[in-house]
Structure formats: structure tokens, C-alpha cells
Structure 1
Amino acid sequence: MNKNDHEFIQLRPQRIVKTKAWPMNIPVKVEVVGVSRTMPLSACLCEVETEDGIKGYGFTAITEEDVVASAINNVIAPTVMGRDAITTEAIWEELNWVLTPRGQSGYASHAIAALDIALWDIKAQAMGVPLWRLLGGAREEVPVYTTFGFGFLSQEELVAAAKHWVAQGNRRLKMTVAGEAMRHRHRRDLEAVIREDAARVMAVRDAVGDEVDIYIDANCNLDPVHAFKLAKMLEPVNLGFFEEPVLQNDVRHLSELRRRTTVRIAAGQNEGQAFRFRDLLVEQAVDIIQPNVAITGGFTQCVRIAGMAAAFNTSIANGGAWPFHNMHLHAGLANGGLVEYHHPAVLLCEQIFTGLPVPENGVLALPKSPGLGFSPNMDAVEEFSRNPSACGNGKG
């Protein structure tokens, strides 16, 4: 075959000339069924620019935004200066050794995630394709579930909110349980906590009927004993999954819980190292594994984790919010699953990004434009970064 018989894409190197991160504290005002609550959420935006003028934007959240921004600006930026942004695998591996040389995770995983997302945004723009197509283009839309049920809602308000979201076309709903029950300053009698949680979930089930999927999330706030008790109480509810039921995503306790209940178990959204997902899979600790591109080391690592899940015939889903970044992973891969349309997180994104898609009837259509398909509002980003105290401590 003569090479002149075909057109070849000549993808020139995209040398990095600038990397910058902005830490932000953003006030998010949640208003539903007559209830209004403002909460501060933290986030960090990362911009990478190449010598050709292509700019990619990465993002991370649910962390100490100042620490992550400092890691990007003072450690990652000089490390990647002059590197070819297209070489995402090589850059990810180097950053992994720079930031997590002995298997640590924590803030390093968030910082790598923000940089990696920006690089994939650049790569897709340079190739002229949407990011989800670059990742494999398995589907043009993804199913979403709506996270709506928070502890500040009374049971009556929770039921009204559930009905509201179902009326808007949402057939998959997630609510939080356990609050911050295990944390010292919020510590409560766990028996009372789980009884109250069970009553709240059952009330929502009675209100929306059996045709709506219900998921719950304990955010790693329960010990194994009370996680098991709550799961058994809620077996008749036919939950879609019980997310992060036990402290620290303890693999041994998750595995035991999964064997002792019919409720499906999900976890992984806050893990930073691939071996943690390996352990969850090998120990048969989860029914659904939840890598999050904004937390779990970006697209580079989440694609690997999704491959492991496929080899174990285990479903993947987005947990931990940030649907507009995670939708690309789940649309790109053949084993992609549910994407979390976390209401407060979406409200945050709407304040700093433009061009965000809106789900219709429980489905989110992927953008057709190259890269991520949406853009940061840099005036808003700069304002939130300049005024971090405007909304409290930012650790909501």
C-alpha cells in the first residue's frame, strides 16, 4: 500500500509553555421545594497552554484547593514545561513518580487529575474531535442519576424534593445517609442515625413508587456493624446501590458486607491509586466500581481502572460528582455506566463554565465540539480565586 493512497494526520507536538492553577471557594445556593441552603464548595481549575496556542482545562474538587493549586503551580508546572502535551501516558507516569513515589495518594491524585484532564482536552482539540470520541466513542449519550437528598432536608422536604425531581423526568435518585455521624464534632448515636435514615429512604420509596431507582451514599461515615444494619433494614426498598458504606472504603469490611446483604455495594470515587481498585475487585468487595476522572488521577488512570473492571465483569459508574468531565469517560468506553448529576456540584459548575449540556429524561447528550466541549468563564474563576473567604471555609 502506497502512503499516497491515503491522507495521514500529521499531529505535530504540542509543547507546553504554561501551566497555571486557580484555587476557588464557591458559594452554592441550593433551592428546592421552598427550602434554600447555601453551602461552600472548593474546587481547582488548571490551565495548560501549548506553543500553538491551544489551551486545555482540567478540574478537581472535594479537597483542599489551596494545597492542590500549590502542587500544580510549584511542582507540576516546572516538571511539564516544554513537554509534548500529546504524550499523556509519559507525563502521567513522570508525575506519578514525582508526586507519589511510594504509593501515596491524597492531594497528589487530585493535582495529577487536574493536569491530566487538561492534557486530554488539548489532545482532543489538536485532533479536532470531542474527547469522548478520542477515548473510544462507544456512545453519544450517557444515563444520569440525580443526587438530590441531603441531610439538611427534613423527611417531609425530602419526599417533596424526590417528587419534584421525578416530575422533571428524573427516574434515578440518590440521597445521602449517615451524615457525618462518625466524625468527632458531629458524633451521634449510630443506632438512632440509621433508624432515621431507613425511615427517610422508605418514605422516598413510598412517594416515588417502584419504577424509580433509588441509591444511597454514606460517604464512608459508618462502621461495618451499622452499615450492615442499615443495609438489612433497606433490603425491601430494592436499592440500586449503597455507595461508600464503611469507613475508609475498608476492602475487607466491604467484601464481608457484600456477602451478607442483597444490596449492591459501590465504592471508589475518592481512591487515588489503581491498586486500591485492584484490591476491591480481587476481594469481590463491590458490585459497582466508581473511578472519578477529577479525583482518581484523570482520564489516563481511569481508563486503566475501567479496563480492570471489564476484565472482572464488574460495572463502573461515576460517583463523587463532576458529571461534565466524567461523561466523556462513560461515553467513550464500551463498559461505561451511570453518570452522577450531583445537584450542588452542577450548580458550582454552572458558575464557572459555559456551554454545559443539560440532561433530558435522564440522559445527557455528549458535545460535538473538539475537546471537553465546554469552556471556563475565566472572569468568574479569577473572581472566586481572588475572594476565597466570600463563602466561608470552602470545605462543604
Structure 2
Amino acid sequence: MRITGYRSLVTQHDWGRPVGDVNGHISGTATQTDVLVLTTDVGLEGIGVGTHAEIDRVFPSIDGEDPRSVVALYDRMLARVFKLGHAGSVFGTIGAVDLALWDLKAKAADEPLWRLLGARNRHVPGYASALEIALADEQLAEVYGAFADRGYGAAKLKGGRYLDHDLRRLGILRDIFAVNSSAPGLMFDANESWHRSQAVRYVSRLEEQVDLTWVEEPVRRWDTAGMAAVRAGIRAGVASGENLTGIEQLRPLLDADALDIVQVGSSWGITHLLRAAALAHGHDLPVSPIGFTSVIAPAAAAVPNLLAVEVQDVKPPRGLSIDQEVADGGIVLGDAPGNGITVDEELLRALGEGQGWAEVAGPHVRPDRAGLRLVPEADGGALRPAHF
């Protein structure tokens, strides 16, 4: 079996609501989802989901190769971009290709990917994370109520600017998920918007009223000393790692004892997840994948130190069918060979391109004052005092 080519497809994830985080949110209700299809000379096709803008640069390293050599091909892709590095869109492209390669490997073996990778249990524990920053309290309760109806007992809130606002909404989540747990897991995500002193002060105020499980990305992703300082100053655990592109970026945080939970971005692929999880396991730390985790849930099932995967929505992007179910407080994997993803390409061609994430007011653009606030803002939005 040899790789012969690829197709790039585009679909839309219709959330039915604006999504984002403390840095901003999209103006509409749908975002673009990219799909990569690798073709072979035996008719099998591998599906990867995620942006792959650098595919023409990366593809020559796998063209004509046997896709079952997936780990070796992953390293060939890294080697091909050696001089300029593998950050950003390059690492995303490698991740999308890696997902498609693992899909092909499992299909060639006629096995579901989770079983091929050695998992024993098809249930992957999860927590709800609806990217709900733009929702009013009533909508917040409705969206997270749907997760509670599916057995979830833990959830994550986006925030970090308005203390009273965040406390109220954490209370709403606690009440919603109390139906499934006497002590619901409550996580809080600041998305790198704080500096270390602000993070400790803000979280300490939250912890006066709420028992937080972890605080996510309290400071910049590379701020090893800052992460360690926050971890020493609060009761909650510190989680980070989703935006780190390579285990060499993760290692300094582990060496500094700066994390309690190691996070891995789902768009970085399965091989990266397995390597990051092994590195975390060597430090006796749990791992928690982030993002559109349906694509790496089969691999997460095989990770010995898996804590839980983030689940952002109860339905997949349009035109994608995934042999798994959001139920029982997690993701329940099916028995279809490969990663269980099938694509309705006719529907995707009819949809055309969707809305992207990188809007000026959206969550992928860092605001001017991020990391430059010492105190919570007033509910009206004015800084208090103006220059702090």
C-alpha cells in the first residue's frame, strides 16, 4: 500500500451560538473545519480533520510511502521542516496528516483505531467545555444542561476579566452538574490573558467561593516561571500545553514542576498526543486533550494517564459522520475500522467555505490589554483604575 495523493475539503461547524473565550468571540454561529483525505493505490482513504495550509510543503515527505509506517512518517515530516521549525500552521498540517495516516493504518488492519492502539475500554471520560463566553446566563444554562443530560459531571468556564460575573456563572455550572455529582468538577480557563500576579489574586478571590479543579493557561504558554508561581500561589491545579507545538516545548514546564495537568491540542495529531502523554506519564502527571477531541478520542482511550477529554459540542461539523457517541459523561467509541470518520463530500462541496476563527474581534487575536491588568474590571468594562 502506497500513498498516492490527497484532497483538501472544507466544511462548517454550526455551533448554533457564537463561540470564543476571554480574548474575544466570533460574530456568527459557524466556524470553518478543514478536512484532509489521503489516497492510496489500493483504494483505502485516510481522513484527517484540521487546518493543513502547509500541505504542499509537507506532502513530499510521505508521497509514495506506506502509510502504515505512521510514526516514521511523522518524523520524516518533522525532518522536512527542520530549518524553519514546526510551529503554528506547519505543526497543524503535520497533525492533520498524522490523523489521516493512523486512520489508514487501522483501516488496513480492519480494526477500530482505539483497539489497534491497545485500548481496553471504548468509553473516554470527558468534561463539558462550550466556549460559552458570549452567552447570556440563560443560554449558558441551556447549553450546559444538554451536557448534564448526557451524564456529564464536570465543566469548564471561560473568563478572567469580571470577577462577579465569573463567580455567578461558576455557580450556575455547579448547580447544573450537581445532578450528576455531589462535587462537580469546575475548571476555569483564562486563555493566557493574565500575568502571574493577576492570576494568583484573581483565582484566590474565586476560590473564596468556588472549589476549582484546575485553572487553565493562566499566563502565556511559554512562561515557565509564571506557571510555577501561579501553581504555588493557588489551591487549584494548573493546566496548560494545548498550544505547545512539540514535546520540546512541553519539557521545560515539566522540569520546572509548573503543571498539574498536561494538555495536548487535538489538532496536533495522534503521534504528538502519544509522545506528550508518555512524557507526562514519566512525571506522574495526567494528560487531558483539548479542542475537537473526537478526532483523537480513539488514541486518548489508549493513554494510561488520561484524565479526561474536552468536549465542546454534542454534534460534529456538517457532513462528517463519526462512529462515536457523546454520552455517559464522555465519548463512547464505536467499532468502525479506522478513526470512524466518514465524509459526505457532495454536501461539503455544496456548502463552500465557512467562517474562520481569526476575526479581528475573535479569540485568535490577542487583545491590547491582555496580561496588563492587575485588578478585575468593572462589569461595565471600564478598567479600574484606568491604567491598571
> TM (normalized to structure 1)?
0.80
Structure 1 residue 247: Cα displacement: 2.6
Structure 1 residue 214: Cα displacement: 1.4
Deviations 1:180-228 (A, max 9, x none): xxxxxxxxxx5xx344323432443356545322112122222222222
Q: Distance in 1 between matches of 2:340 and 2:139?
A: 36
Alignment match, 1:30: 17
Higher mean C-alpha deviation, range 305-314 or range 224-233: 224-233
Alignment match, 2:219: 246
* Equivalent runs, 1:253-292 vs 2, <5 Å: 253-292=226-265
Change in Cα spacing, 1:104 to 1:364, as seen in structure 2 (3 Å) is: closer
AA matched with 2:202:
L
Query: Could you say what the CA RMSD is over the residues aligned between the two structures, in angstroms?
Result: 2.5
Alignment match, 1:227: 199
Q: Say if 2:48 is the partner of 1:48.
A: no
**Aligned-partner SS, 1:205:** helix
Change in Cα spacing, 1:394 to 1:356, as seen in structure 2 (3 Å) is: farther
Structure 1 residue 313: Cα displacement: 0.3
Q: Distance in 2 between matches of 1:225 and 1:25?
A: 39
AA matched with 1:309:
A
Q: Distance in 1 between matches of 2:95 and 2:150?
A: 33
Alignment match, 2:327: 360
Q: Say if 2:295 is the partner of 1:328.
A: no
Q: Which of 90, 97, 119 is the equivalent residue of 2:79?
A: 97
Structure 1 residue 363: Cα displacement: 3.1
Q: Distance in 2 between matches of 1:205 and 1:246?
A: 25
Q: Distance in 2 between matches of 1:220 and 1:27?
A: 26
Which 5+ residue runs of structure 1 have no aligned equivalent? 1-13, 32-36, 179-189
Deviations 1:23-80 (A, max 9, x none): 455543239xxxxx842323221111111111001111xxxx4xx33x11x2223332
Q: Distance in 1 between matches of 2:199 and 2:167?
A: 11
Q: Distance in 2 between matches of 1:167 and 1:55?
A: 36
**Aligned-partner SS, 1:96:** helix
Q: Distance in 1 between matches of 2:11 and 2:143?
A: 29
* Equivalent runs, 1:304-319 vs 2, <5 Å: 304-319=275-290
Q: Say if 2:177 is the partner of 1:205.
A: no
Structure 1 residue 333: Cα displacement: 2.1
CA contact (8 A) 1:267 1:288 kept: yes
**Aligned-partner SS, 1:317:** strand
CA contact (8 A) 2:152 2:177 kept: no
CA contact (8 A) 1:16 1:49 kept: yes
Alignment match, 2:5: 18
CA contact (8 A) 1:306 1:316 kept: yes
Count of aligned pairs: 349
Structure 1 residue 267: Cα displacement: 0.8
Structure 1 residue 273: Cα displacement: 1.4
Between structures 1 and 2, the one with greater helix share: 1
> TM (normalized to structure 2)?
0.82
Q: Which of 381, 385, 389 is the equivalent residue of 2:348?
A: 381
CA contact (8 A) 2:125 2:330 kept: yes
AA matched with 2:270:
F
Change in Cα spacing, 1:204 to 1:86, as seen in structure 2 (3 Å) is: closer
* Equivalent runs, 1:62-211 vs 2, <5 Å: 65=51, 68-69=52-53, 71-72=54-55, 74-148=56-130, 150-159=132-141, 161-163=143-145, 165-178=147-160, 190=161, 193-205=162-174, 208-209=177-178, 210-211=182-183
**Aligned-partner SS, 2:183:** coil
Q: Distance in 1 between matches of 2:176 and 2:62?
A: 53
**Aligned-partner SS, 2:206:** helix
Structure 1 residue 378: Cα displacement: 1.4
Change in Cα spacing, 1:195 to 1:103, as seen in structure 2 (3 Å) is: farther
Change in Cα spacing, 1:362 to 1:372, as seen in structure 2 (3 Å) is: same
Change in Cα spacing, 1:133 to 1:267, as seen in structure 2 (3 Å) is: same
Change in Cα spacing, 1:304 to 1:161, as seen in structure 2 (3 Å) is: closer
Alignment match, 1:183: none
